[in-house]
């Protein structure tokens, strides 16, 4: 497996970083891709220190041009992308009545459009090699909704629909397309929430704890493995039971 290449968007920190480090331990060469250049280098350094191979990419998934250019660089350097994890995501929360059009557009652009255009770049090589794994990181919010997050919920629900359509499109080529829907995970995105809200969210989790980035990385590791070769179009909820 050592020649296989895994491209992880938004891998400079949080869930993306955990996924990158976990897949590197499985023998994948990792493409650490995000616009946070210094953090990319830190994660790549961790991968190399553990004996893995990494390449960093200054990637803005909000830009089709950046995505195209980035994949061009990776294919020139590595010759292939076997696994794509569409993890990059942002929030711009606000009540629907007052949501700025720019906040709607940006969240959809990065969370949904970015994942689609990255997938479009990854597919030709996967089709040619008759093997590929695409994992889209959705969210419990895309399944259950959340007040003040119409843009985020729409983007994450969109990923689920896209996952199912693509799974049907490329299954005959030996490519699986699945989604992971994280629940309440301990990341920079949730750290900033008011304590009261954190406690309220925690009360909805039967397992009684926040998830860790590693919990999501473990799910991705399974879905890209040979053990999951007969699973496609699936949404794997990793949420401690907060939504069933």
Structure confidence at residue 2 as a pLDDT band (50, 70, 90): low
Residue 83 phi/psi, 5-degree rounding, is -130, 130
pLDDT tens-digit profile of 153-175? 999 999 999 999 999 999 999 99
Query: Could you read off the pLDDT of 202-224 as tens digits, one per residue?
Result: 999 999 999 999 999 999 999 99
From the CA atom positions of the chain, what is the Rg in Å? 17
Q: Which candidate in 28, 152, 184, 230 is catalytic?
A: 152
Catalytic residue check, 152: yes
What lies within 8 Å, CB to CB, of 69 at 6+ separation is: none
CA–CA distance, 195 with 177 (Å, rounded to integer): 36
Domains defined for the chain, CATH in brackets? 5-237 (3.40.50.720)
On whether the CB atoms of residues 114 and 87 are closer than 8 A, the answer is no
Q: Taking 70 as the threshold, does the pLDDT of residue 242 lie above it?
A: yes
């Amino acid at each position: 497996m050592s020649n296989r290449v895994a491209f992880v968007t938004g891998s400079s920190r949080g869930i993306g970083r955990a996924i990158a480090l976990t897949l590197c331990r499985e023998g994948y060469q990792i493409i650490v891709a995000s616009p946070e250049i210094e953090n990319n280098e830190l994660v790549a350094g961790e991968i190399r220190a553990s004996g893995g191979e990494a390449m960093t990419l200054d990637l803005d998934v909000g830009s089709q041009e950046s995505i195209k250019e980035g994949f061009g660089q990776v294919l020139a350097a590595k010759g292939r992308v076997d696994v794509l994890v569409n993890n990059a995501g942002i929030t711009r929360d606000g009540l629907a009545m007052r949501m700025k059009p720019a906040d709607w557009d940006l969240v959809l652009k990065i969370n949904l459009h970015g994942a689609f255009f990255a997938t479009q770049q990854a597919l030709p090589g996967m089709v040619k090699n008759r093997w590929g794994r695409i994992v889209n990181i959705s969210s419990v919010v895309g399944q259950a909704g959340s007040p003040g997050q119409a843009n985020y919920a729409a983007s994450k629900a969109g990923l689920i629909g896209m996952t199912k359509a693509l799974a049907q499109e490329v299954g005959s080529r030996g490519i699986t397309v699945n989604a992971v829907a994280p629940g309440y995970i301990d990341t920079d995105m949730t750290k900033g929430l008011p304590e009261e809200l954190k406690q309220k969210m925690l009360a909805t989790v039967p397992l009684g704890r926040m998830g860790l980035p590693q919990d999501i990385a473990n799910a991705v590791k399974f879905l890209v493995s040979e053990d999951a070769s007969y699973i496609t179009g699936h949404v794997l909820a990793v949420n401690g039971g907060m939504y069933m």
